[in-house]
Amino acid sequence: MNDEKQTQLISAMTAEEVRKNTKISEDFYTVFSNHVRVTASRIDFRLFFGESYPTATNEVRIIEQFNVALTPVQAKALLKLLEQVIQNVEAAGGTIPTIESLQWPQAPQTPELPGKPPE
């Protein structure tokens, strides 16, 4: 079965049918991510997930932990699914802020030592 037919089949299933037909792997695990980077080609889309954090010098460090490769058809299906889920979450709990609207805390400043000129 090709990706497009599989996506159409899954899209036609109800949420209950999806739950009934889904099995969780014994080695399933969850990873926290506050960073995602996306690359794309004609044959695949890759989502690189990781964790970003500020350093003492106000730089941002990112540790990418894994990536998920999707066919273009699956990437488009994921986009549609995420749009639907976001609409439902916002309808129930209010607007989700965008990354650009967030105020990020500054890393703590290193105190100046007496007799040492500031850098």
Confidence tier at 4 by pLDDT (50, 70, 90):
low
Going from N- to C-terminal start, the domains of the chain cover 30-92
Residue range 3-17: average pLDDT? 65
Q: Residue 71: its pLDDT value, please?
A: 96
The answer, yes or no, to whether residue 44 has pLDDT greater than 60, is yes
SS (H, E, C) 42-106: CCCEEEEEEEEEECCCCCEEEEEEEEEEECHHHHHHHHHHHHHHHHHHHHHHCCCCCHHHCCCCC
- CATH number 2.30.31 given to 30-92: yes
Q: Is the pTM of this model over 0.75?
A: no
